[in-house]
Amino acid sequence: MEDGFEKREMERARKRVKEIRSFYINLALYCIFIPTLIIINLTFTPEFHWFYFSMAGWGLGLIFHAMSAFNFIPFLNKDWEERKLQQFMEEDRRAREKYRNNNQPIE
């Protein structure tokens, strides 16, 4: 029993590390490409600053990615998922017990 628990914990930890690593890669790419886009924009079309759209869109995605990677989602987070799973499993267990109790042969 302990082996299975440790294995699940290790898998969860690995998944979490992958999520955080993915966020840092995304952040590094943002820090490289946004200045590049700014330079391109200001060099070729300085009259219209279109880089703001890329910066805002990618930045918003980056914020959501950070919230997900660092478990800072105030709604519908992992704890909520776990609670809902437990709730549904408990409801199913009660329904099975009720069905068994109602369909037992009379002695």
Q: What is the C-alpha to C-alpha distance for residues 50 and 55, in angstroms, rounded to an integer? A: 9
In a domain, 89, yes or no: no
Looking at residue 107, what is its pLDDT?
54
Percentage above 90 pLDDT, the chain:
57
Q: What is the C-alpha to C-alpha distance for residues 36 and 44, in angstroms, rounded to an integer? A: 12
Choice between 97 and 50, residue whose per-residue pLDDT is larger: 50
In a domain, 44, yes or no: yes
- Residues 6 or more apart in contact with residue 78 via CB below 8 angstroms: 71
Domain interval for residue 40: 2-74
In a domain, 101, yes or no: no
- List pLDDT tens digits, range 36-65: 999 999 999 999 999 999 999 999 999 999
- Residues 6 or more apart in contact with residue 2 via CB below 8 angstroms: none
> Contact 26/69 with Cβ under 8 angstroms?
no
Count of the separate structural domains present in the chain:
1
- List pLDDT tens digits, range 4-20: 888 889 998 999 999 99
- List pLDDT tens digits, range 75-84: 666 677 788 8
In a domain, 24, yes or no: yes
Direct distance between the N- and C-terminal alpha carbons of the chain, in angstroms, rounded to an integer: 39
Question: What's this model's pTM, rounded to 2 decimal places?
Answer: 0.66
In a domain, 29, yes or no: yes
In a domain, 30, yes or no: yes
In a domain, 82, yes or no: no
